[in-house]
Structure 1
């Protein structure tokens, strides 16, 4: 990851109540439209880059650069709700339209009708609820994508999964100290 000057971090006024999914999506849209901030993100040709932003109401927010051909792998954000908006390029989100058990399992067999795919060109985004399992990809072969993400409450953990056909397997649980 590349270092990022703290002077470029976006600031926003904090509402008195916990931010909703709609609040997070609106923040991500406004931030993604900030051309100066988006252009200031250093891009690495091989790995994702990111910088932490101040999100609304104490939320956790990130500006992320995606080199061609990169992605997150299957994961969820545990008890946090979230939103993200593509600021440049295009991202693809594969997600599961199924409520999974939150704990106590290592392997699940998914039914055939749970897969969803969404393409998010610049200016497009989405919000999601707790325990939303997805992967985000930049499928371009020659162009970076940049996106803005926001989560509330700040991420307590991220669960990472592997997937082979209908089989979803819990592989790892990350805590904030693993990525900050």
Structure 2
């Protein structure tokens, strides 16, 4: 007779979204983040069910550039200020490519003000940035499973190019 082994707990995208929204509403947590006038700041948080979570401060004019989170699903919520997300409605191959030509109509754009959040699935390609010229933004992000890597891309028109692969030791 086969015995079942307990599987690794799985955290759903809605659970991640619920967590980031609750954390973004925690004014004591948000106020604890040191803000730098020039560079992004971040503090690692304990996410639900073994997920990876971050509290991030965004000075005016800063952003992530185009990237994905590999096999991790995620969510983020804006706690203060406004963040803009540009995303691609296309699933990229997991590996084996350096340059892709994107089809027309794959671009998506959204603005997330304080209290707003969104969840996303695996291989979600996006860039997030604070367009404000004067105001910091603060957000909470969570990923499950914890990020195995981040792929960074450059984009010129319809051409997306893989530029770099970062591993956890690069940002911890």
Calculate the TM-score normalised by the size of structure 2: 0.95
Structure 2: runs of 5 or more not aligned = 1-7
Distance apart, 1:130 and its partner CA: 0.3
Q: Which has the larger radius of gyration?
A: 2
Q: Which runs of 5+ in 1 are unaligned?
A: 1-15
Map Cα deviations across residues 10-58 of structure 1 (whole Å, 9 max, x no partner).
xxxxxx8311000000000000000011011000000000000000000
Distance, in Å, in 2 between the alignment partners of 1:32 and 1:41 is 12
Cα offset for 1:102? 1.1
Question: Aligned partners of 1:152 and 1:73: how far apart in 2?
Answer: 21
1:155 aligns with 2:109: no
Structure 1 consecutive aligned stretches of length 4 or more whose deviation exceeds 2 Å: none
Give the match for residue 67 of structure 1: 59
Between the aligned partners of 1:66 and 1:166, the Cα distance in structure 2 is 27
How many aligned residue pairs are there? 165
Corresponding residue for residue 80 of structure 1: 72
- Cα distance between partner residues in 2 of 1:119 and 1:93: 6
Alignment of 1:138-153 (within 5 A): 138-153=130-145
Task: Determine whether 1:24 maps to 2:13.
Answer: no
TM-score where L is the length of structure 1: 0.91
Q: Deviations over 1:61-118 (max 9, x none)?
A: 0000000000000000000000000000000000000111110000000011000000
SS in 1 for 2:18: helix
5 Å-filtered alignment, 1:2-21, equals 17-21=9-13
